[in-house]
Amino acid sequence: MNLPHSVRLVEVGPRDGLQNEKQPISVADKVRLVDDLSAAGLLYIEVGSFVSPKWVPQMAGSAEVFSGIQRRPGITYAALTPNLKGFEAALEAKVEEVAVFAAASETFSQKNINCSIADSLQRFVPLLEAAKAAKVRVRGYVSCVLGCPYDGDVAPQQVAAVARELHAMGCYEVSLGDTIGTGTAGKTRALLDVVSRDVPRERLAGHFHDTYGQALANIYASLLEGISVFDSSVAGLGGCPYAKGATGNVASEDVLYLLQGLGIDTGVDMDRLIAAGQRICQVLGKANGSRVARARLSH
């Protein structure tokens, strides 16, 4: 069994995790969360998003968060930037890496960002050109890779086509997102087999939601396929807006426990990670979404 020797965890809690919260979260609490995650040893943290506060109120103040965090050497502090305007704002905030997102489903693309997949990709061209000129790396996301809330099953070839475009445009890495969490291990391996014909496996990452309780199984399946980068969210922050009451992002603590059990190095300290998750959950007044954290804290 050829598993990766090390895995990079992309911590999306401060962005993807907090953006769905209803209550306002202060800049100070967001800064504390990022600093706690840095102290836990995570080497890639998605800090915020430069989008219109009208659409994503929780991401207002991302520039202030970037100016308030203690940047540690060797850690990438990234932001989501949906368009050139967002990229320019990120550049002003001294963001060193950005991410763009597209969908593998036409209906999801229309309902989520009001344009076709082809049009969404075209919007990224000036952003990627500006990023190249500014020597800022760009990561790509593809959503709905294992199912769409509107279209149902999504063909792996369609996912591959979008991933191929993002990679060709200059995204150094493409994260494949199971947005509604309906994927299974078998479908995950089949998807990666198809997509990796167009984008090298070392340029692919997995972003699995745990709506149906399959996220860890899908991560393990991805490991078997040679994938060594996974997105996760501390304390499982971030609900799934398409499945009422369901969980969304897989918890970073749970992924770390899986990887530690397999002898795979991440450089992340479990105790500090659990403490970071517990602290932000107390701020939010909600239960910790990580099974591992709950088990450890109950002892």
Burial of 133 per CB tally in 10 Å (0-12, 13-18, 19+): exposed
Burial of 151 (0-12, 13-18, 19+ CB in 10 A): middle
Cβ-contact 177, 213 below 8 angstroms? no
Active-site pick, 144, 148, 171, 240: 240
Q: Considering only CA atoms, which of 160, 162, 169 is closest in space to residue 137?
A: 169
Q: How is residue 16 annotated by DSSP?
A: I
The one-letter amino acid at 139: R
Q: Which of 83, 78, 157, 154 is nearest to 120 (CA)?
A: 83
CA–CA separation, 211 and 18 (whole Å): 17
C-alpha angle 172-177-179 in degrees, rounded to nearest 5 = 155
The one-letter amino acid code at 22 reads: K
Phi and psi, residue 100, nearest 5°: -120, 160
Known active-site residue 171: no
Q: Which residue has the tokens 């969360």?
A: 33
Q: Which helix (H) or strand (E) holds 102?
A: strand 97-103
Answer whether 177's CB lies under 8 Å from 146's CB: no
Q: Which residues are annotated as catalytic? A: 240
